Amino acid sequence: MATLSGNIRTLPARPVGYTEPVLIEGSTYLGVWMECAPLEGLVWAQLGVEHEGAPSPLQVARNNHMAFFSLQRADGQIPSAVKVSDTGWGQIQMVVPIAATAWELAQMKGLPEAQEFLEVTYKACSRWDAWLRQYRDTRKTGLVEGFCTYDTGHDNSPRWAGIPNRCPDSDARKCPAIASMPRLCPDLSATVFGGRIALAAMAKALGKKDEEARWLADAEHIRRLILTKLYSPEDAAFYDLDAQNNFVKVRSDAISRVLGEHVLDLSQRGDKAIFEAVWTRQLHNPKAFWAPYPLSSIAQDDPTFVRPIPRNSWGGASQALTALRAPRWMPHYGKNAEFRYLMEQWVEAISRHNEFRQQVDPQTGVFTQPDPGGYSPCALTFLDFDRRLHGMAKK
């Protein structure tokens, strides 16, 4: 609790431009990133622990969304990060849809100015979806394109080997002049799918029936494209598709991110078959992602798995952010026993290393040491999992 309370900061008015207190990433990350800060704010609000003299968890969660909405550009682009040093425009860096976490937050009791927040969210996320259609579908496939490593937040991942971290001129509208780029990305497309489902729910709540129907139709369109274009039945894996229409065959946690947005509908026979294959051959396979401390960021039996594990590596380490996202899909797909195991393993590892660091060795549960502790996603994972495990024990 001290770690998280200490990470509630007010960013400087210059150069940031947003001055309400936010829950920052912590450790070496002095700011908020769109791929994770909205979810972290939501989890903080769900934990609901009040501190005298501090902003309420609901207010902090609201701020962790408004920091992005308030800085949205006229063309609809939302910044990838809002940091002490600058505001990021050189990549899109999205995972859990900001529309989805905002919609969940808008439904929580006690949220200040909830109706206004819902209206602001709907407008901002609609414009963001339009920006992505304009600038991240240059191949006109209907899917979302990745231009650089940081687009998916997969720092130091073999998935993006040889590709620049940021877009040219730090402009997320520009793709590098590389023959294999841009790529069609399953996880970025899943994020847009999840955002459209949330936008449909918001439209319904706001009485916009025609817009609700349009968002649902658009969501189903991109969902089908993900399954038909970006899934390899041969490998039971979701992959990027490069500009030459070749799969980039690195088995990464893009697979679990697709499930994170419920892209697979188990009521449909084909989707159920895909889920069973992905679950059995990849995510729950001890040789692939289901390590003693799951889930590894690259399949352990993938030839690109990086060892020894360096700092900030999505090349194999099990990441606290992936663990924090697991509640969004494992119970949904009925994997409650496995979810409990994942939570127990993370709680045990964190209890041995209570500095709250970013990543663990998937085999040993030993946290990577070079960076300082104080990492908010790890502290949130511990508290959220502790709460959920106690709830399971009571049942």
Residue 357 pLDDT = 97
Which of the four pLDDT bands, split at 50, 70 and 90, describes residue 15?
Answer: confident
Check pLDDT > 80 for residue 74: yes
The predicted-structure confidence for 81-101, as pLDDT tens digits, reads as follows 999 999 999 999 999 999 999
pLDDT of residue 353: 85
Query: What's the rounded Cα separation, in Å, for the pair 311 and 254?
Result: 20
Of the candidates 356, 185, 196, the residue with the CA atom closest to the CA atom of residue 262: 196
Query: What are the domain boundaries of the chain?
Result: 2-394
The pLDDT of residue 84 is: 93
- Residue 51 confidence (pLDDT): 81
Structure confidence by residue, pLDDT tens digits, 21-30: 999 999 999 9
Nearest alpha carbon to residue 12 among 79, 63, 87, 101: 87
The CATH number that domain 2-394 falls under is 1.50.10.10
How large is the average pLDDT for residues 47-52?
88
CB-CB contact of 189 with 152 (8 Å): no
The pLDDT of residue 53 is 81
Please report the pLDDT score of residue 378 as a whole number.
98
CB 297 within 8 A of CB 317: yes
pLDDT in tens, 255-310: 999 999 999 999 999 999 999 999 999 999 999 999 999 999 999 999 999 999 99
Nearest to 319 by CA among 35, 98, 80, 86: 35
